[in-house]
Amino acid sequence: MGILISERETIETRGKDHVLNGLQCWVALPEDKTEMEPSFLHINRSALPYIHRENILMRLIAGEAYNYTSPVKTYSPMFYLDAITEVGAVVERPCAESETACYVISGTVKIGDEAFEAGQFVMLENEESIETPGPVDLWCIDFVLNKRVLIEKQLYRHSGPTSKSCDNE
């Protein structure tokens, strides 16, 4: 068994230099689902819930947040949000009980007393929220980790379709 990943781009996009932002998240299945048959379901972007808050537009990619539910099937409680903010926005945690992380795509965010820039992945601690002193694009994710993790900015040059596979042992 393996996993096949393929990114598709238009001819126009492939014909010029560009940056591809991506965050790949793997979520373990609950014990009683580990032997289920694999499946694939394409969900159009327009079917994903959009959530509007003051100075914030969010798209719920998977799970549940702010009393909305994504059509993407999940087997355990989680959320995966894409958020675009204006100056002065505050992104509150959708669920105070879950551990929350954010990946800053562009701009700078303030979490607690620290500032984080594009390309950084940050675990929120306690009741922290995300403050945006300027326009920001970020992803917020429900994670189970024990401490704050920072991944320094890495740029990848993407030159066309790729595929990768992993064999289960």
pLDDT of residue 14: 80
Kindly report, residue by residue over 155-167, the tens digit of the pLDDT.
333 333 333 333 3
pTM to 2 decimal places = 0.72
Domain spans, the chain:
43-142
User: Which ranges of the chain have pLDDT less than 50?
Assistant: 1, 143-169
Radius of gyration of the chain (CA): 17
Q: What does each C-alpha distance from 75 to 27, 32, 49, 62, 120 come to in angstroms?
A: 9, 10, 19, 11, 28
The domain defined by 43-142 carries CATH number 1.20.1250.20: no
d(CA 102, CA 137): 10
d(CA 113, CA 25): 27
Both tokens of 165, joined, read 């596979």
